[in-house]
Structures are given as C-alpha cells and as structure tokens.
Amino acid sequence: MRAPAAAGTPILLVHGLVDNRSIFTRLHHQLRRRGFRRVRAVELPLWTTTVEDGARVLAAAVTAAAGDGGHVHVVAHSLGGLVARYHVQRLGGDRQVDTLITLATPHGGTRLAELVPRALPYPLLAQLRPGSPLLVELGRPAPGCRTRFVAVAAGRDTVVRPAQAAIDHPDLDAVNVTVPGLGHHSLAFNGAVTRRVAGWLAGTTAPEQSELLDQGSELPDQGSELRARDSELLDRGVAQQQALGPGVRTEVDRRLGRIPHPTGGDDDSEAEAVVGHPVALAQLQHGPRRGTAAAGER
C-alpha cells in the first residue's frame, strides 16, 4: 500500500516516559515505505516534569512541521499519547492535528503509578494515577473537537491494561482497538499494527469500534520461539528505556534499509534485524554501559 495523496501531511511520532525515538524504529520505516515522506520523531526532554510541559514541546513541533495553518497526524506511544491528547483538547491543537493514534496510552491512568509513594515529588507519575486531576481535566467537555482519535491497546500489556488504554469521552470522535497477544512495547514493533496504522492515516481503511485487530500469522503463540523472545525482550521495557550506544542506531537503520519490502507486506524480518543485532541485543539484555550513549543517537 502506498499513500501518495497523504504523503504531504507530516506525521509526528511521540514517545513515552523515559523513552526515546527508538520505540518507533519499525513504524517509522514502514510509514516511509508506504509513501509517507514527512515522518518526524518528537523528542520529549528527559526533564519533562508534567504532561502540560510535554504538550508545549509538541505544540512547537507541530508548528515547525506544518506552519501556523497546516495540518499533521500524530502517532504516540504510552505517555506520549496523553501529551498529544492534552495538546489537542486543552491547547487548541485540534485545529491542526487531523488524526491522533495512541498506542498503549494510559487514558484511564495506570496502576503502576500507584506504586510510587505519594509523598515523593514525582508530579508526572502522579498525573498517571487513575482519577488524577490531569485525567479529570481531560474528561471535561470538549465540544467541537475536530481531531479523530484511534486508541490502540495491547491485550497482554501489564503496564497499561486494555481498559485503561481506551478513550471514553462523549465529545471525542474516538475508536478503540485491541490487539491480542502483544505487550506494552512490542505493540509499536508489530508488523500488522504498523500496516494498519499506515492504512488509517492514508484513509484506505477505517478502524472499527472495539475492534480486535487480527494479526493473522503475526499473532504471537506459545510455540513461536522468535515471538516469545521478542516479547520477552521488548515488554520488559529495557529495550526502549535505554539510549542506544554509539553506532547501534546507525547499524540498525542500515540493516533495515537493506531489507527489501516483502511481497504481501509480511515484514517480520525487520523486527528480527532489530532484535537480532548483536550489539543491540546485548543492550536489550543488559542495558548500555556507562558512558556509551551518544547524544545524537538518543
């Protein structure tokens, strides 16, 4: 599938908490292959202390990508989805964001935020607690909001449960989709998910409310050694919560670039190239060594 008509609309990718653009390595590559030429990652600073701060960073990125009157699509993972939703609902971002697709975003909060003692000064994590003032604010009326929402949940997500990843708001044009068999981080790496996201953005397919996305042969099963390994590495969060060391991202990009687009769109080999890279694999298992993170590869 190619999307020449949609290729001119910028797509912004927004990562989550203690994360970086590497969570979108596969999605970025697939969007480019399907004809989207203006795909950019928005880096949320590590010192972002509130969702509101992140939303202001995103607002500047939207203006930089599309100008004052242009339009963009946004795909966001985890916390990035709350940042993008706040921008759309509370900062007037619906004037420019045509579509917001959230992947495993805690629209209803996450139980893991409850593990942080309330006495500790972590305002960002406090905002992720169910019923927090931020989530109450996002639940307020938003009449006339022009952005189309698609909230994608992972069936095996232990960080943000599927019910918490859904958008339940009477004023929002929102569709909720659940992908069985995937976890919090592997959701963004799955080939069926990236193909469906590309189709939604191109307008060639439409998400259906409460849809269970059928991955066909890509659905992880207990007998698949590769899938079990992928899920184990990605869903523990180590993969995307560490900065890639010098040369790793360049080598991953190089390997992805050498893989021809398979007939029928079955691109499992790309995930194998990322996870199977010997240096990246060591980082996935043990994390980068101190002093090895390069500023340009975060």
What's residue 118's pLDDT?
A: 64
Would you state the structure tokens that stand for residue 26, as one six-digit string?
């596969």
Distance in angstroms (rounded) separating the CA atoms of residues 171 and 191: 32
Q: Which two tokens stand for residue 287?
A: 């994390």
pLDDT digits (tens, 9 = 90+) for 156-206: 888 899 999 999 999 999 999 999 888 898 888 888 898 889 888 987 777
- pLDDT at residue number 263: 36
Kindly state the average pLDDT of the residues 270-293: 41
Structure token digits, residue 269: 């080999």
Among candidate residues 17, 239, 236, the one with its CA nearest the CA of residue 125: 17
pLDDT higher at 218 or 122:
122
**Among 2-6, 26-30, 48-52, 161-165, the least confident range:** 2-6
Average pLDDT over residues 42-66: 92
The pLDDT value recorded for residue 178 is: 92
pTM for the model: 0.72
Closest Cα partner for 124 from 202, 46, 70, 39? 46
Total residue count of the chain as it appears in this document: 298
pLDDT tens sequence across 120-162: 557 888 899 999 999 999 999 999 999 999 999 999 888 899 9
* Top-confidence residue, 118 or 280: 118
Higher pLDDT, 45 or 147: 147
Q: What is the pLDDT of residue 56?
A: 96
For residue 104, pLDDT beyond 50? yes
Band (211; pLDDT cuts 50, 70, 90): low
Q: Using DSSP bridges, classify how beta strands 11-14 and 148-154 pair: parallel, antiparallel or unpaired.
A: unpaired
Place of tokens 């069985």: 180
Read off the pLDDT of each residue in 52-76 and give the average, rounded to a whole number: 94
Q: What is the pLDDT of residue 116?
A: 65
For the chain, the average pLDDT equals: 74
Between 263 and 78, where is the model more confident? 78
pLDDT at residue number 100: 98
Task: Provide the greatest CA pair distance for the chain.
Answer: 55
Query: Going by CATH, does the domain composed of 11-219 fall within 3.30.70.100?
Result: no
pLDDT digits (tens, 9 = 90+) for 219-269: 443 333 223 233 333 333 333 333 445 555 555 555 545 444 333 333 334
d(CA 208, CA 213): 9
What are the structure tokens assigned to 41, written together?
A: 């990652």
